[in-house]
A and B are shown apart, each in its own frame.
Chain A
């Protein structure tokens, strides 16, 4: 593994929250069994969020910035203004790394949040798409001072035949970047493609996986089987829990496990964090991550 990833701090089990709505991040951080870090998907301009972020940090939790406006794939490059604002944001809040889904957040020459497309447009899984993704990731790395982590996005359908872990393994190796794996997104890929992600696990540089996400979702029954819909306000589906138990033992260098729980009430968040910690303790082979649990229980 690249040294720059080994040196990253272990953040433990945390939560991804909205700064402006319930559950209140500061209240959660102060609660017994609360998150040991807070991830947020904020606005690009740090001055819009810095007051809220400072309150979280003052309560004792480090933060990770995880936005949804970077194109980590496709033909449309990121704007310099947005990348410079991102760099300033990351530096100001002290985010140890910078992760985001590899998907289209904007189309053509219209930088902006993925909400302008409804939500992310999925990437294309082929060689040409991979080459462009390498360009996009390097474009971000050139501006951002901390390690970049790439995340497979949620998908309802798949275009292209390159397996998920082949694509992300190669992208990570070619750009020397870290990886974030969202368990629900992996479930979504399996349902959309009919393939097991584990079929290509050998092509994933597992030592580069520094963060794991787990979040609520919904299963819709389609003509060809279940379709996974990412829905953080919902409960975590059983397949996602199983994916966490399957993947954790294979990931030796996880620094953070994040429960994405925007819109979930505080008591449910705390109960879920407890369950996640139990699974981490039982399944993770990452000593530093397991040791970090002692400080938060």
Chain B
């Protein structure tokens, strides 16, 4: 007797389309790969294939609604590409679903990234921009999952105090934990407003009914207003079971991205400003940069070493 094998078969029937298709054609042959005795195999004879197909379809749809909340802009863009929605549907498979629930969204996002090459974008540049947007959303998914796992394993986190001392700019700085950064072609908030008009909960459903027009995607991604998008995951509700993680975000000008390369714990803001001054940066620009760094420290996206 192997009830666990029956459970494995049940799970595969719901999430593995090839097992399901084979089962609907010939249930006996399809179940040979499971260590089931005759009585256990016979338990599956009661399945109505048409109902199994419907269940799997509805289930995948609900899961995609859930995943869509983590990748709203990417989902919207992919809906405008030939075969984009089908790619997303195919990714709800046994590989995704056998992944631990806490890591599942991140894996799903990575797999979207791996699938982009199979889709036809207008230009290579457009595909690069789509990848950058996905990277930003994937970064948030990954920091959320990492923080959630940390909280579940170790309990409440103790985040360093945000009180900046008088001499804050002389101290070396680095990225804070659970922070991700990506260069994106347009403000993320703007992208969300323009591409995800419905509430995130219903976005998947509305994209299926009315995918984003390809022309709209092209027009939006043609704009060249790159931003450095930074997000920090934080626990908005502490729980031993299901901590809620939200993202605090900031966007900075493209020029700031090159400065970010130096934010690795080995230099201070004063040092960065001094280097900029030596290559001719004006005081006004230096003050603006200093102010941005201060904001990032206060919002806990950077921290002092």
Q: Which A residues lie within 8 Å of B6 (CB)?
A: 124, 126, 128-129, 159
Give the residues in chain A near B124, CB-CB below 8 Å. Answer: none
A220 touches B54 (CB 8 A): yes
Q: How far is the CB of A257 from chain B (nearest CB, A)?
A: 27
CB-nearest residue of chain B to A110: B101
Cβ-based interface call for A165 (8 A): no
B52 at the interface (CB under 8 A from A): yes
Given A106-B101, A128-B3, decide whether A222 and B11 contact each other with a Cβ distance below 8 A: no
A58 is an interface residue with CB less than 8 A from chain B: no
Give the chain B neighbours of A84 by CB distance below 8 A: 240
Is A121 part of the binding interface, using a Cβ–Cβ cutoff of 8 Å?
A: yes
CB-CB < 8 A to B43: which residues of A? 124-126, 159-161
Q: Are A112 and B101 in contact (CB under 8 A)?
A: yes
Which segment of B60-68, B78-86, B138-146, B281-289 sits at the interface?
A: B60-68
Contact A159/B104 with A112-B242, A124-B10 known, Cβ cut-off 8 Å: no
* CB <8 Å contact, B60 and A157: no
B14 within 8 Å of A (CB atoms): yes
Asked if A75 is at the interface (CB within 8 A of a chain B CB), the reply is: yes
A115 touches B11 (CB 8 A): no
Query: Nearest-CB distance from A199 to chain B (Å)?
Result: 15
Q: B residues within 8 A CB of A115?
A: 62, 66
**A-contacting residues of B (Cβ < 8 Å)?**
1, 3-4, 6-7, 10-11, 14, 40, 42-44, 46-52, 54-55, 58-63, 66, 97, 100-102, 104, 237, 239-242
Q: Which residues of A contact B42 (CB under 8 A)?
A: 161
Chain A interface residues toward B at CB < 8 A = 43-45, 48, 74-75, 79, 81-82, 84-85, 106-113, 115-119, 121-122, 124-126, 128-129, 132, 156-161, 192-193, 220, 222-224, 227, 229
| 19 pairs, A vs B, C-beta closer than 8 Å | A75-B4, A75-B7, A81-B241, A82-B241, A106-B101, A110-B100, A116-B104, A117-B63, A118-B61, A121-B14, A126-B40, A156-B48, A161-B42, A161-B43, A192-B51, A222-B48, A223-B49, A227-B50, A227-B51
- Chain B residues whose C-beta falls within 8 Å of the C-beta of A116 in the assembled complex: 66, 101, 104
CB distance from A216 to the nearest CB of B (A): 15
For the complex, give the distance between the alpha carbons of A68 and B62 in Å.
Answer: 15
Partner of B55, one of A74, A125, A132, A156: A156
Interface centre among B48, B61, B102 (most CB of A within 10 A): B48
- Number of cross-chain contacts by CB at 8 Å: 117
Contact B100 A229 (CB under 8 A): no
Q: Of B47, B51, B102, which is in contact with the most chain A CB atoms at under 10 Å from its CB?
A: B51
In Å, the complex CA distance between A158 and B237 comes to 39
Distance A162 CA – B62 CA, assembled complex (angstroms): 29
Give the residues in chain B near A82, CB-CB below 8 Å. Answer: 241
The answer to whether A158 touches B46 (Cβ under 8 A) is: yes
Smallest Cβ distance from B286 to chain A, in angstroms? Answer: 46
Quick one: which of A110, A118, A161, A223 contacts B58, CB cutoff 8 A?
A: A118
Give complex CA distance A107, B97 in Å: 9
A residues less than 8 Å from B54 (CB atoms):
156, 220, 222, 227, 229
What residues of chain A lie closer than 8 Å to B49, measured between beta carbons? 223-224
Q: Beyond the given A132-B3, A161-B46, A192-B51, could you list 9 further A-B residue pairs with CB under 8 A, ordered by the A residue number?
A: A45-B241, A79-B241, A124-B6, A157-B46, A159-B10, A160-B46, A220-B54, A227-B48, A229-B58
Partner of A156 from B11, B52, B61, B240 at Cβ < 8 Å: B52
Contacting pair A129 B237 (CB below 8 A): no
Is A159 in contact with B47, judged by CB distance below 8 angstroms?
yes
Q: Residues of A contacting B14 with CB < 8 Å?
A: 121
Is the pair A159, B44 in contact by a Cβ cutoff of 8 Å? yes
B104: chain A residues within 8 A (beta carbon) = 116
Cα-based distance from A160 to B9 in the complex (angstroms): 13
A contact residues around B241 at 8 Å (CB): 44-45, 79, 81-82, 85, 111
Q: Which residue of B lies closest to A85 (CB)?
A: B241
Q: How far is the CB of A242 from chain B (nearest CB, A)?
A: 21
> If the complex has contacts A75-B7, A109-B100, A124-B10, are A224 and B48 also in contact, measured as CB distance less than 8 A?
yes
Q: A45 near B239 (CB under 8 angstroms)?
A: yes
Chain B residues within 8 Å of A111, by CB: 241
B50 near A81: Cβ-Cβ < 8 Å: no
The smallest C-beta distance from B97 to any residue of chain A, in angstroms, reads 8
B242 near A44: Cβ-Cβ < 8 Å: yes
The CB with the most chain A CB atoms within 10 A, among B44, B63, B97, B241, is that of: B241
- Shortest Cβ distance from B237 into chain A, in angstroms? 6
